[in-house]
Amino acid sequence: MTVKTKAKSRILEAVHETAADFHRLGFIDQRKMREFDALCLEPIPIYDREKIRSLREHYQLSQTVLASLLNTSPSAVRQWEQGDKRPSGPSQKLLNLLERKGLEALI
């Protein structure tokens, strides 16, 4: 389970890359690789209602289109923007991808 996210430092990035190679070769199990992920990689930021709305408006997307890109329901996006719920892990990662790489990364 390697996650392509920017590491906290170049040293940690090198450590994580080495651990990922060991995992790929079978020297490190999945559990240990998750520990390296947690130690070496920056966490995905929390997306609150203002951040989700501004991101959606920046790319001029409707709630329905954003929901389709994130593989979720339009009511979920509506609830996020109203502050009733928060996006789950996969949705947060896709929102982060949209913010960092742009709309083309999700299409």
CATH topology of domain 49-105: 434 Repressor (Amino-terminal Domain) (1.10.260)
Domain ranges of the chain: 10-40, 49-105
The mean pLDDT value for 52-70 works out to 95
Distance separating alpha carbons of residues 21 and 9, to the nearest angstrom: 18
Better-predicted residue by pLDDT, 107 or 61: 61
pLDDT digits (tens, 9 = 90+) for 15-40: 888 999 999 999 999 999 888 888 87
Quickly count: other Cβ atoms within 10 Å of residue 31's Cβ: 8
The per-residue pLDDT for 38 is: 80
DSSP 10-31: HHHHHHHHHHHHHHHHTSS-HH
| Cα of 38 vs its chain's centroid, Å | 14
| Cα of 53 vs its chain's centroid, Å | 17
Reference 97, options 50, 53, 47; nearest CA is 47
pLDDT digits (tens, 9 = 90+) for 62-87: 999 999 999 999 999 999 999 999 99
